[in-house]
Structure 1
Amino acid sequence: MRRILIAKGGALGDWLLTLPACSALRQALAPSSVVLLGRTSWVKLALRAGFVAAYSLEKPGWESLWVKGGELPEKIRSLLRNFDLILSFLSDPDGTWAGEIRRWTPARYLQLLPPRPGRPVALDYWLQLREFLQLELPLPKGPFICPWKEDLDAFEAWRSELEESQQRRSSQFPWVVLHAGSGSRKKNWPVDYWNWVLERLHDRDLWVVLLAGEAERDWIGSLAKKAHTIGLELPLATLVALLSQASLYVGNDSGITHLAAACGCPVLALFGPTDPGVWQPWGPRVTILKGGPTWEGLSPEKVLAHIENLLG
């Protein structure tokens, strides 16, 4: 059995766009044991994405790989020697990380290049792997992340609490999940537009869930009043369960939108200043609406019409 280590840093959405390539690799080299070296917050998600184990790059010791001739803890050296193939999606412009990896392990090594301009990130990574390994790698569409039973149980407990507090059976209605935020204000569809859409969804036979994280706390208030439920800083594993059960997700170009797509949820992704030709979410049921750099051309009426169409 091959043992493969995949190293990736960056933002959540950046990592999720590597999953199609990782899934193709796992299928092509089966049986294989694929392990992630990434952000601490991704560890639980990685296990739900088919990785047999996940380690945090943020733990002490790994930083030594960024220092030429640095001393690596024996525990990490021993771990690295277990792998036959190491794939790095990390930015390594001067080759320090690659050089140190080669110093500590005889494993075959591939440094993935930054995606080429104008090409979908997920597609570019897949093409690089196919060329390097000289293998036929069918490009999977997903889903790439599946909830565990404990995630579904946690979600059901959360839903039961909501129903008890609101005296309304949420399971009788399609769940529509909205996320109005992102990692940058300029990537956010205007709040007034979200308000308009929420007002029209609120009184329909739907259960509208508005997701919010720490970054949205200061401006989410007006939207929160129009949703049936607020998912405030939900654990990622619970979020995976929610998205796997939802009838539709609507959001900006954000990590959560990429997560919804990776979970197989029907996704309506709203793009303004960023290019969906590069950053498109990768999943089996993704619809993209593109506005201008300042969101011209993407009216709330247009978005609502697509929501209604996707809900049937």
Structure 2
Amino acid sequence: MRSVLVVVTRQIGDVLLTTPLIRAARRQWPDARIDVLGLEGTLGMLRGNPDIHTTIAMPMRASPVRWLRLFAGLWRRYDLALVADPGDRAHLIGWVAGRERAGLLAAGGGSHWWKRRALRHAVPLAGDLGDVHVVRERLALLAPWQGHAAPESALVGPSGEALPQALRQRLAPGYVVVHTPSMWRYKQWPPDHFRELIGLLALAGRQVVLTGGPGAGDRETVAAMEGAAPPDQLVDAGVLNFNQVAELLRGAALYIGPDTSVTHLAAACGTPVLAIFGPTNPQRWAPWPADGAQPIRFQRQAPKQSIGQVTLMQATLHCVPCGKAGCEDHRDSRADCLMAITPERVAAQALELLARR
């Protein structure tokens, strides 16, 4: 293959979880041009990635004229398209761009017939309650070209970028990064729980650094932590780009956060991670440890489990994980399993991990 296009038109975390596939493609075809097509606003996770020639950003919504221009520029431009997204849009782009194609197929779905006909190699997804991690599913796209060889599976985080001077001057050795916001309510550990956790970490002598995106929801959740610890022990990192977040994470003694893209980024950076999971199945979506060479297989449910530098905590409710969008199965749903994970329990686990360092 002289040219390969990886199509991943999903969220930021999905883009990062596709980097092992990109790295494996680079190992398979060292001299090939490898490009990545994704949604605008998600490709910052790939900035500085040495395996990629260029990224192609497409809008979430586009006019028919813009779609035609995109398709005209992509038409049969690549020897191979790797469609790392089961959606119709991604498969259509793969068909336009690649002379050969391998792609993911969602569990169920009426559009499979035309997708299968367009693919040389199809990888069926296990679904939210399956036991195959999404990193493994993406790597399986290369199976026809790799045979039985096990591809390297380490994530590749964005390169570091210098932090703002005002932030650097405030950081104390051994700081802990805490990410309080979640995109969806059903993944949100309660803000009051975060406040108690921050207070307990401060009592133990730790400085807490808060991260969050530029959106109003993120800023509101971060602002709600004000006063949870003395000013010198609680730092709002402000709005950073992904490269700066990666730099901040690589200097941290520990990262604590929910099921979100920054948690995956912390794992990719090699930072010790304490992840708080609710309805999501860790066998599919647990943060992928930095050392992808070791056997990585998370349990479906365990109060605490650790692989590599990643420790994951869940509630002990019988329904965990349900694989749904919370108790009411919609994005604004409550999640009783997250409420059940107490700040005291998370703080005790965090201090244990810090003591090992």
Q: TM-score range by the shorter chain?
A: 0.7 to 0.9
Q: Is the 8 A contact 1:141 1:283 kept in 2?
A: no
The reply on whether 1:290 has 2:311 as its aligned counterpart is no
Alpha-carbon offset, residue 195 of structure 1: 1.5
Q: 2:103 aligns with which of 95, 108, 111?
A: 111
Q: 1:86 aligns with which of 81, 85, 93?
A: 81
Q: 1:309 to 1:189 in 2, by over 3 A?
A: same
- Give the aligned residue type for 1:243: L
Alpha-carbon offset, residue 63 of structure 1: 6.0
Identify the structure with the greater helix proportion. 1
Q: Distance in 2 between matches of 1:272 and 1:130?
A: 32
Q: 2:194 — aligned with what?
A: 194
SS at the partner of 2:6? Answer: strand
Q: 1:256 to 1:159 in 2, by over 3 A?
A: same
Provide the TM-score with structure 2 as the length reference: 0.71
Q: Distance in 2 between matches of 1:20 and 1:106?
A: 20
Q: 2:296 — aligned with what?
A: none
SS at the partner of 2:25? Answer: helix
Q: 1:100 to 1:303 in 2, by over 3 A?
A: closer
Alpha-carbon offset, residue 65 of structure 1: 9.2
Alpha-carbon offset, residue 6 of structure 1: 0.6
The reply on whether 1:12 has 2:12 as its aligned counterpart is yes
**Alignment gaps of 5+ in structure 2:** 107-124, 291-308, 318-334
- Give the aligned residue type for 2:136: L
Deviation by residue 1:95-142 (Cα, 9 ceiling, x = unmatched): x7645654x55621122223312122112222x324343434535453
Task: State how many pairs are aligned.
Answer: 290
SS at the partner of 2:178? Answer: strand
Matches within 5 A, 1:7-46: 7-46=7-46
Q: 1:61 to 1:185 in 2, by over 3 A?
A: closer
Q: Distance in 1 between matches of 2:93 and 2:177?
A: 44
Alpha-carbon offset, residue 207 of structure 1: 2.7
Q: Is the 8 A contact 1:28 1:135 kept in 2?
A: no
Matches within 5 A, 1:220-235: 220-225=222-227, 226=229, 228-235=234-241
Matches within 5 A, 1:128-147: 128-147=140-159
Q: Distance in 2 between matches of 1:7 and 1:82?
A: 13
Q: 1:130 to 1:194 in 2, by over 3 A?
A: same
Q: 1:124 aligns with which of 137, 150, 154?
A: 137
Of 12-21 and 270-279, deviating more is 12-21
- Give the aligned residue type for 1:212: G
SS at the partner of 2:42? Answer: helix
Q: Is the 8 A contact 1:43 1:56 kept in 2?
A: yes
The reply on whether 1:248 has 2:242 as its aligned counterpart is no
Q: Distance in 2 between matches of 1:60 and 1:159?
A: 36
Alpha-carbon offset, residue 85 of structure 1: 1.1
Q: Is the 8 A contact 1:147 1:244 kept in 2?
A: no
Q: 1:258 aligns with which of 254, 264, 268?
A: 264
The reply on whether 1:305 has 2:329 as its aligned counterpart is no
Q: Is the 8 A contact 1:88 1:110 kept in 2?
A: yes
Q: Distance in 2 between matches of 1:121 and 1:191?
A: 29
Alpha-carbon offset, residue 233 of structure 1: 2.6
Identity of aligned residues (%): 27
**Alignment gaps of 5+ in structure 1:** 67-71, 164-169
Q: Is the 8 A contact 1:3 1:83 kept in 2?
A: yes
Q: 1:101 to 1:196 in 2, by over 3 A?
A: closer
Provide the TM-score with structure 1 as the length reference: 0.81
Q: Is the 8 A contact 2:47 2:159 kept in 1?
A: no
- Give the aligned residue type for 2:59: E
